[in-house]
Amino acid sequence: GVFVLSAATGGDRTLLRQLRVTVSRGGVTVYSGSLASLDSVRLGTLAPGARARLVLRIALPSGGNELQGLSASADFGLAATAV
């Protein structure tokens, strides 16, 4: 099937724009950008019974204290549709 990763975010937009997300599948980066910009990412296809490694990294860049006290949330979903 065809797999898609989705994200629904909430909270402070300033923090969401600063959080850096990298999504990779099988060592290949399929998304790199801010958490605020992550809506859905097509991960490709996967045959029945096959396996794939999906890595999602979230990082906060180093810097000042302007982000202290802010909060954000993200709910991630993984959906598959038949080809």
- Measured CA to CA, the distance from residue 5 to residue 23 in angstroms comes to 9
> Residue 31 in contact with residue 40, Cβ under 8 Å?
no
Three-state SS at 39: coil
State residue 82's pLDDT score: 82
What residues pair up with 20 in beta bridges, in sequence order? 34, 59
Query: Considering the entire predicted model, what is its pTM?
Result: 0.87
26: left (phi over 0), alpha (psi -120 to 50) or beta: left
State residue 64's pLDDT score: 67
Express each pLDDT in 14-27 by its tens digit: 999 999 999 999 99
Express each pLDDT in 26-61 by its tens digit: 999 999 999 999 999 999 998 888 888 999 999 998
Which tokens hold the place of 60?
């906060």
